[in-house]
Structure 1
């Protein structure tokens, strides 16, 4: 049996970054896909600590909360920095990605029809923070000299934004290089090119 079981809906959503990470790390996982109508019945929801998905099982450990899952995977697969200082910086960067992810989610699920133009107008200001960090770190990663779970999280958010606005990275060379570098990693590229990745909608409401 694969070491991990992911229970989630048939979307990329909150599982996007962990799937990218597991594929790049050469890990196998089992997907348990939950139809939305089954979720609304409430039985599975009642078994989740905070009443939400994704849920990941690693042996006898069951976790919810997507960022806690990413940190767990980071510890398991040497993707949490080389020391405590780097680990703290990785946490900080992942929190920054989460702030952007929440802005994106608010647009997609609440303000898409009324706020898309303004969101895209403001986007470069949000992305410039990551641009500055990557421009200083010659390794091409957010922190240190090796890939971390925060890099997968940032990549996933950037790929989503390139669908929303294909030109959003044109004036951000470090971010554009980051996406190219990460997407070219052989195992990750194979996943990005796969039907398993391409068939999944980005979001649950069909907007992207």
Structure 2
């Protein structure tokens, strides 16, 4: 049922963006329930959230928290979890790798941006190399991160790569498969329309203005 999804999140890309990429590319409609800092500081919404944090996601009357659980739920419902158990397990592995990278990025942005940015960018090739390797092992890097079909992990990986291309615009210069992967996914018609939309362009990347 189109429009049955609601994403409750702050007015930033953050941990909501991979979900938006997935929904947009899959032709799904969703509603944004934007939570301002003022609303969040009042504390009532925070207390109502299962783990005291956002995003919150509503699929009809089914309410979910935790961004990766939201992605996996949508993956199961839209055929984005691989073609068999082996692919599903590989996708879980790669998604854990994306999560590791995201946590490092978040720590930089919110805790150590000015002092740590140069060192972070210097170490970035070591974080990107595993994904280049995975692409090379899957049909020579011509398609997706695992298998022959797009998966929830592709959207999560694409989002983290987008973030790093803003932080360090040349970060994929030594990773031709990843560079081609980003360009290929960006050009998927429904995803391209979302990426070029005003809503996407006007939404800040992070809550503190760092990027």
Interval of TM-score (by shorter of Structure 1 and Structure 2): over 0.9
Q: Return the alpha-carbon distance in structure 1 between the equivalents of residues 93 and 74 of structure 2.
A: 17
**Alignment deviations for residues 91-142 of structure 1 (CA, whole Å, 9 cap, x no partner):** 1100100000000000000010100000000001110010000011125211
Which residue matches 2:126?
A: 125
- Which segments of 5 or more consecutive residues in structure 2 lack a partner in the other structure? none
- The 5 Å alignment of 1:127-206 reads 127-138=128-139, 139-206=142-209
* Pairing 1:1-208 to 2, within 5 Å after superposition: 2-138=3-139, 139-208=142-211
The SS at the match of 2:81 is coil
For the aligned residue pairs, the C-alpha RMSD in angstroms reads 0.8
Quick one: distance in 2 between partners of 1:4 and 1:35? Answer: 20
How far off its partner does 1:46 sit?
1.1
- TM-score, structure 1 as length reference: 0.98
Query: Helix, strand or coil: the match of 2:112?
Result: helix
CA distance in structure 2 between the partners assigned to 1:43 and 1:134 by the alignment: 44
Q: 1:7-59 deviations in whole A, cap 9, x for unaligned? A: 00000000010000000000000000011111011101111110100000001
TM-score (norm 2): 0.97
Cα shift readout 1:141-165 (whole Å, capped 9, x = no counterpart):
1110000000000000000100001
- Equivalent residue of 1:56, what SS? strand
SS at match of 1:87: helix
SS of equivalent residue, structure 2 residue 99? helix
- Aligned positions, number: 208
Displacement of 1:60 in angstroms is 1.3
